[in-house]
Structure 1
Amino acid sequence: MTTAIIVGLTLLVVAILAATTSLRVLREYERGVVFRLGRLQTLYDPGLRRVLPLVDRMIKVDLRLVTLTIPPQEVITRDNVPARVNAVVLFRVIDPVKSVMEVENFAVATSQIAQTSLRSLLGRVDLDTLLAHRENLNEDLATTIAAQTMPWGVEVRVVEIKDVEIPEAMQRAMAREAEAERERRAKIINARGELQASEELRQAAEILSRNPASLQLRYLQTLLELGADQNSTVVFPLPIDIVGPFLNSMVHHDVSTTVERATSATNGTEVPR
């Protein structure tokens, strides 16, 4: 009788332990891929699930977004510039069964595909594109990596190039190039300003030449501006059409005097000055 009770209690304890160990809890963001004697079973949803001991094997798959950091990669751009580039990949599992059946470790496989795709893509672009068009490169990287991981049930959401390190000598060369470019733009802007100013002056001269009174008013305004600074020197501008006849008469007088002196010198007479 006592032996039967002991056996019964032992069987009860074993049954309780077996029932306890056969229960699994899946969280809301987890799915269970179960193999029964090596055969794939129906996918387990979140909640309390029973797994047969020694018969079933369940693999939990996390469906949350995973952040994968790609270690710095040594790349050589199309214009033969060495650079160290690192990036970050955001992906999630959308098909738990494929993530277990199609690849041994989807996280490691995604990391390796991301590294090789990063080196391959950046080797086909030049340094200026790498520095100035990261958004386009990020989209190309995401498309390339997603094409490889989609058969595994892994969806690549975002790929971002974090940092680009280039040699110090190249940085100095880029700084000199940027400075030369700014100087070129400054000279072009200055030349355009001179051109526009000359055009405005030409139009102003044409307008003033149509009315002599406006030109006289401009002269008086200039005198007023000079006198406002308490200058000791007063400049009175005269139109060239007024001074011109006097200059011409003086030139003719000098020429005639020179001719007379030359003639007198030839004849031996002296011409008074």
Structure 2
Amino acid sequence: MSFDTLTGIAPVIILLVALLAASIKILREYERGVVFTLGRFTSVKGPGLIILIPGIQQMVRVDLRVVTMDVPSQDVISRDNVSVKVNAVVYFRVVDPQRAIIAVENFLMATGQLAQTTLRAVLGKHELDEMLTERDRLNLDVQKILDAQTDAWGIKVANVEIKHVDIDESMIRAIARQAEAERERRAKVIHAEGEKQAAVALLEAAQMLAVEPAAMQLRYLQTLTQVAGDRTSTVIFPVPGNLLDGLFKQAMAGKPPAAEP
């Protein structure tokens, strides 16, 4: 084969190699290819070796792995009119490559924008205390709403996690005062419950002592023992109440009548 012949067929060989390279595609295990023939959807192929007709067929790669999307901080006004900044993270993946490419222009951007609006809408229906204490329930509510709305795009939202709830400094001080007041209220309630229980115990003890008079004498002797053990010079002499009543009545009976003016 002469040099002129090789020179003549070289462009043809180069063209064939270029066409072969353009027609062969390799998809990884986590990738799928949405194939269009003359602009019309044909099939979803992959993974492995894919052969396309150059110039007639086109392929769009779709990643099936879980996507971690950070939702920027959103200004939310709670139901009790408290302004907070909330950010979250969304975990989702493509389950239907055909709908993810055909039904929406850019499923990543669409899912991100929908996550922002849904986060503001859901949290705006709850009070600040619920945002701080019931975060798991709020995560589940946002996840269910996102999953229902992105199902038409072939997207499965696996999880939504609220990361931070930023509160103004003045509101933090107000929450601290509220917590302090709550602790004081609990302390007063506990103290009142203790007084109530002590009163009930004293009433039961008095009823038991009234049934057996000798028990009162034993209680008196026990009190004397405790006082004597303290090395004090105090002398305790119990006087029955009925004796004092009798003396008072006698004193009132023997009182001389008042002088007439």
Q: 1:153 to 1:8 in 2, by over 3 A?
A: same
- Does structure 1 residue 174 correspond to structure 2 residue 175? yes
RMSD of aligned residue pairs (Cα, Å): 2.1
Amino acid at match of 2:208: I
- Does structure 1 residue 213 correspond to structure 2 residue 211? no
SS in 2 for 1:88: strand
- Does structure 1 residue 77 correspond to structure 2 residue 78? yes
- Does structure 1 residue 248 correspond to structure 2 residue 226? no
Amino acid at match of 1:252: Q
SS in 1 for 2:234: coil
Aligned-residue offset at 1:82: 1.0
Summarize deviations over 1:166-214 as a string: whole Å, max 9, x none.
2111111111111111111111111111111101110011011111111
Summarize deviations over 1:142-181 as a string: whole Å, max 9, x none.
1221222110000111112111112111111111111111
Matches within 5 A, 1:13-162: 13-162=14-163
Q: CA contact under 8 A between 1:75 and 1:83: conserved in structure 2?
A: yes
Aligned-residue offset at 1:68: 0.8
SS in 1 for 2:84: strand
Amino acid at match of 2:139: N
Matches within 5 A, 1:261-272: none
Aligned-residue offset at 1:230: 2.5
- The alignment-based identity, stated in percent, is 47
Amino acid at match of 1:121: V
Gaps of 5+ in 1: 267-273
Aligned-residue offset at 1:4: 2.8
CA distance in 1, matches of 2:6, 2:116: 65
Q: CA contact under 8 A between 1:29 and 1:46: conserved in structure 2?
A: yes
How many residues are paired up?
Answer: 259
CA distance in 2, matches of 1:182, 1:108: 47
Could you list the structure 1 runs, at least 4 aligned residues long, displaced by more than 6 angstroms after superposition. Answer: none
CA distance in 1, matches of 2:250, 2:223: 33
CA distance in 2, matches of 1:98, 1:236: 98
- Does structure 1 residue 259 correspond to structure 2 residue 256? yes
Summarize deviations over 1:119-141 as a string: whole Å, max 9, x none.
12222222222222222221221
Gaps of 5+ in 2: none
Q: 1:253 to 1:115 in 2, by over 3 A?
A: closer
Aligned-residue offset at 1:52: 2.7
SS in 1 for 2:43: coil
Superposition TM-score, scaled by structure 1 size: 0.86
Aligned-residue offset at 1:113: 0.5
Superposition TM-score, scaled by structure 2 size: 0.90
Residue aligning to 2:204: 203
Residue aligning to 1:269: none
Higher radius of gyration, 1 or 2: 1
Stretch deviating more after TM superposition (198-207 or 214-223): 214-223
Stretch deviating more after TM superposition (151-160 or 136-145): 136-145
CA distance in 2, matches of 1:56, 1:232: 113
Aligned-residue offset at 1:235: 2.6
Residue aligning to 1:271: none
SS in 1 for 2:148: helix
Q: CA contact under 8 A between 1:26 and 1:45: conserved in structure 2?
A: yes
CA distance in 1, matches of 2:190, 2:208: 27
Amino acid at match of 1:214: A
SS in 2 for 1:173: helix
Aligned-residue offset at 1:254: 6.9
